[in-house]
Structure 1
């Protein structure tokens, strides 16, 4: 699959997002159609040291079993240690160029909230963008102002054609709005971590939107 195809249904998760074993949640999500996974272990009670390495390895093996790219959020050292498929960074993390130099040809994803950030990411070597928040979400306590799918429209209108996903408050009922704005897929956290059984309907919503746009 191309990177654009891998972004159809992008699941982001850490222990802080799960009510059950992260490995059980991920396996159910992968079997339901997740096409890319990001291990995002952040927050007050997040794992550190040996436990985070052990969990990351367990989740990485599951992704390999399903031939799904395994991305690590922000932690470049962990990504290199595990030989992960890539790294995703936010605007408050390390510089895009700095991370690109460290990870060489691995996948580099960057969070963007407007055209300026999207253009900088493109020029600095990002492979894809995570754009949001699309809708109101309680998952991230430091969430930006919700601008909705119009942000994706404005990025596309400026000729930025990097693969991108919309993220933030996405569920089966609003996937189409995000896809119609120009996204290649959707990224979700709680929509799957809290309800893994919803994965198939999310994947089908993305597929339906892609078919409608053809």
Structure 2
């Protein structure tokens, strides 16, 4: 899970279609796309996921579904990202044996428990306070991210307040990847914004 990863938020796309923003991000170098839909019913969620899966296939960019294992199974998504209150990771792994599985960690207890979880990466959430992550227990900060990096056996993907001003520091603190929402979705030019984030993350 190295690189910059787009996490979708249709409400931040400034009137553009989700497909338009996703395609621009991929052209800008996004390493994966995580489809996050908190309020969408199952059928439109599956239909949207199927459209994005087809859009991403020629680019060989994986589609990761946030929370919804059923949607991931329905469209053959490459991965699923779960939170602490979602289906247990061992069950997800049994149902999706070859998938990319991510797990959000919001407390140090989460990090410790995650050592034994069959996941591919930890989503460190949030690194910085952000309006797109309102249901968490406080921000980790760069010191918290570095502490997790020193302890955890899993690759880390940082999320929350990651933008052009913070992304280089996130990489220096030990994140293998950075998940970005508003800095791409709300950008005037999402392709250019993603490309710059990729460059800064690698610098």
TM-score normalized with structure 1 length: 0.87
Q: In structure 1, the residue corresponding to 2:175 is in which secondary structure?
A: coil
Tell me by how many angstroms 1:106 deviates: 0.9
Q: In structure 1, the residue corresponding to 2:158 is in which secondary structure?
A: strand
Q: Which residue of 2 aligns with 1:187?
A: 179
Q: Is the contact made by 2:81 and 2:101 (CA closer than 8 Å) also made in structure 1?
A: yes
Tell me by how many angstroms 1:9 deviates: 0.4
Question: Hey, what's the Cα distance between the residues in 1 that align with 2:12 and 2:111?
Answer: 27
**Structure 2 residue ranges without an equivalent (≥5):** none
- Residue 93 (structure 1) aligned to one of 81, 86, 102: 86
Question: Hey, what's the Cα distance between the residues in 2 that align with 1:18 and 1:69?
Answer: 21
- Residue 26 (structure 2) aligned to one of 21, 30, 41: 30
Q: Which residue of 1 aligns with 2:157?
A: 165
Question: Hey, what's the Cα distance between the residues in 1 that align with 2:67 and 2:74?
Answer: 13
Divergent runs of 4+, >3 A: none
Q: In structure 2, the residue corresponding to 1:30 is in which secondary structure?
A: helix
RMSD (Å), alpha carbons: 1.5
User: 1:145 and 2:143 equivalent?
Assistant: no
User: 1:10 and 2:2 equivalent?
Assistant: no
Per-residue displacement from partner, 1:90-137 (whole Å, max 9, x unpaired)?
A: 112122222222212211100012443123223120111110211120
Count the aligned residue pairs: 199
Q: Is the contact made by 1:108 and 1:128 (CA closer than 8 Å) also made in structure 2?
A: yes
Question: Hey, what's the Cα distance between the residues in 1 that align with 2:115 and 2:32?
Answer: 20
TM-score normalized with structure 2 length: 0.91
Q: Is the contact made by 2:149 and 2:175 (CA closer than 8 Å) also made in structure 1?
A: no
Tell me by how many angstroms 1:173 deviates: 1.4
Q: Which residue of 1 aligns with 2:120?
A: 127
Q: In structure 2, the residue corresponding to 1:71 is in which secondary structure?
A: strand
Question: Hey, what's the Cα distance between the residues in 2 that align with 1:89 and 1:66?
Answer: 24
